[in-house]
Amino acid sequence: MKARDDKPRRFGPKRSNTGRPDFKKPGIDRSGFKRSGFKRSDARRAPDRDDFAHRRDLARVAGMNAVRALFAHAPERVERLFFARGAKESATGYCRVLAKARKIFREVPDEDLARIAGTPMHGGIVAVARPKPLGAFDPEEAARRADAAPLLPILHGIGNPHNLGAIARTAAFFGLPRLVLTDHPAQAGLSDAALRVAEGGFEVLDVFRATDLAAALARLKAGYRVLGAAPGRGVWPERIARDRPIALLLGNEETGLDAATLALCDEAVTIPGGRSVQSLNVSVAAGILLFAFTPTAKSR
């Protein structure tokens, strides 16, 4: 029979040779929630990276502005929240929301946060959330309600997610309520990169997907003047009549709007410039045109 071990048993985290707690063991973290007013039991242990970082059905929303807008407009979509030490104070309110919903939140080292976000440009905080649903665009309904959205941007083949995010941010900045994406094969969607660059813009916009652009534009003309952006081939913005709401069609970064698509528009609009550079980046051009056609521009 073995002799009874009368040594005092140690409780709590196993200590390393240095005498410090071994925080590398599962279940032990450095979250500091207890010092922030949270019980350590409130912070659920983060799953392995493969559990969420590669799931195609979840979006990674990075950056404080984007996360703030997400919690302001759709907190129920948030499944997890991760943040760096420097963002802990700003994240406290969001942690309380998730604690009530029994969802995951945790402070993590910078290198882990970059891995979770999929980019080092995460702004210190990342929310993993269910994607914002896109509505089906009904051009007839949009035409009937044109006065509620007197400037309607329609993106046809904007393939770079950074450009898409920048346009959404600009549209939200000018207070536009809606954004339409077509079914052009090159058209980018609401990817992680687009969400990050938009800085929360997508959360304040109703985003729609339009199919059959030709039919949609024909029906939209019942309530809108449809303009197609075309470098060097159109009318200057100040010469466009403002007697009706405006739908502004913007094309692919490389090819723009083809002749057949421009023919579907009431007019082509162009931004006057010098001859040294042929055209502007599409997100920059969108910003100039949205500013020019925002209804408040008439009073400036």
- Using the 3D structure, point to which of 63, 94, 129 is the last residue of a domain: 129
Domain presence at residue 294: yes
170 neighbors 134 (Cβ within 8 angstroms)? no
Same domain, yes or no, for 156 and 287?
Answer: yes
Report how many domains make up the chain: 2
Which residue in 24, 21, 31 sits closest to 85, CA to CA?
Answer: 31
Which residue in 207, 142, 139, 148 sits closest to 172, CA to CA?
Answer: 207
* 88: containing domain: 40-129
Same domain, yes or no, for 113 and 159?
Answer: no
* Res 232: pLDDT: 81
Same domain, yes or no, for 115 and 95?
Answer: yes
* Res 156: pLDDT: 98
Name the token pair of 240: 């466009």
Tell me the DSSP string of 240-288. S--SS-EEEEEEBTTTBS-HHHHTTSSEEE-----SSSS---HHHHHHH
Q: Which residues pair with 83 in a beta bridge?
A: 107, 125
Which residue in 215, 219, 293 sits closest to 250, CA to CA?
Answer: 293
Same domain, yes or no, for 123 and 217?
Answer: no
CATH of the domain at 56: 3.30.1330.30
282 neighbors 248 (Cβ within 8 angstroms)? no
- Using the 3D structure, point to which of 112, 129, 146 is the last residue of a domain: 129
The Cα–Cα gap between 233 and 255 comes to 14
81 neighbors 127 (Cβ within 8 angstroms)? yes
* C-alpha separations of 147 from 119, 136, 236 in Å: 40, 20, 24
Which residue in 32, 94, 43 sits closest to 64, CA to CA?
Answer: 94
Same domain, yes or no, for 96 and 144?
Answer: no
Domain presence at residue 31: no
Per-residue pLDDT of the chain (300 residues; tens, 9 = 90+): 545 555 544 444 455 455 554 444 444 344 434 333 444 444 444 444 445 545 668 999 999 999 999 999 999 999 999 999 999 999 999 999 999 999 999 999 999 999 999 999 999 999 999 999 999 999 999 999 999 999 999 999 999 999 999 999 999 999 999 999 999 999 999 999 999 999 999 999 999 999 999 999 999 999 999 999 998 888 999 999 999 999 999 999 999 999 999 999 999 999 998 778 878 999 999 999 999 999 875 544
Domain presence at residue 9: no
Domain presence at residue 19: no
Same domain, yes or no, for 85 and 184?
Answer: no
What's the whole-model pTM score?
Answer: 0.80
